[in-house]
Structure 1
Amino acid sequence: MKANAAICALAATSLILALPESAHAFDLAGAWATSAEQCSKVFARKGRANQVAFTNFSGVYGGGFIAEPNRLRGKFENCVIKSRKDDGQTINIVVGCASGIMLSNVQFFLKTVDDDTIMRQFPGIEGMEVTYHRCKI
């Protein structure tokens, strides 16, 4: 009987250790602005549902994006997340975007700095990064 319990405990431990990294995926959901101090000038709650939306002049204050479980929204873009891979501190996302009359696929490389800060990296362009801060709206 003790042998069966030991085998079950070992199997359970092995299963937990073998879980994919995506089980601990970074929570990207929320409104993200290029400047934490400008959040209230980039985003506002609007409508009967009190949803987070962009202000009229959000681009003047650095802009940003809104992340939802299955999509990313910009002021003029609406993107569906096609794939996502979390690899430690790096998140690789491929999205299909519609902006007016054009459809395109875009790949994002995001590096998590902390729970409320990420950096968009542009592979192949040395030193080009954009920092985003999670807005508490």
Structure 2
Amino acid sequence: MSSGWRHGAILAASLVVALPDFAAAFDLTGAWATSAEQCRKVFAHKGRANQLTFSNFSGVYGGGFIAEPDRLRGKFENCKIKSRKDDGQNINIIVGCASGIMVSNVQFFLKAVDDDTITRQFPGIEGMEVNYHRCKI
């Protein structure tokens, strides 16, 4: 084995260790609103536990959702994540949602724009997408 090949192998191995983990899932946890400027009008902390929830008139300010490790919550929906697949910037989530008297499965196609911005896409509907911004409240 030549010393040049050995050095090349060591360099290649060190680069693999130094590269970020691209297979890691996008951190969706937190509150997401359609307008970053409206976060404090969409979400509120309530109760003795100071739990994050929706304000009374959150829909007036664009609305949003709260993502937990195993759930997505809307103002009137509580959805359990059944499956999730991350493929680079694309996130495909299937949730089972309960709203009042009905249970349904919903599929979300999300694209991570950056750490604090995602876009919900609606395949088959040209030009239809909704941007969400992470709220730091």
| Superposition TM-score, scaled by structure 1 size | 0.84
CA distance in 1, matches of 2:107, 2:93: 6
CA distance in 1, matches of 2:116, 2:129: 16
- Structure 1 position 21, deviation (Å): 5.7
Does 2:46 align with 1:46?
yes
What is the 5 A alignment of 1:1-137? 22=23, 24-137=24-137
CA-based RMSD? 1.8
Percent identity, please: 81
Give aligned pairs, total: 123
Unpaired runs of at least 5, structure 1: 1-5
- Structure 1 position 48, deviation (Å): 1.1
Equivalent AA in structure 1 for residue 105 of structure 2: N
CA distance in 1, matches of 2:49, 2:87: 35
CA contact (8 A) 1:85 1:92 kept: yes
Deviation >2 Å, runs of 4+? none
1:88-136 per-position Cα deviation (integer Å, ceiling 9, x unaligned)? 0000000000000000000000000000000000000010000000000
CA distance in 1, matches of 2:76, 2:45: 17
Q: SS of the residue aligned with 1:37?
A: helix
CA contact (8 A) 1:77 1:98 kept: yes
CA contact (8 A) 1:30 1:134 kept: yes
Q: SS of the residue aligned with 1:118?
A: strand
Equivalent AA in structure 2 for residue 40 of structure 1: R
CA distance in 2, matches of 1:85, 1:56: 33
| Superposition TM-score, scaled by structure 2 size | 0.84
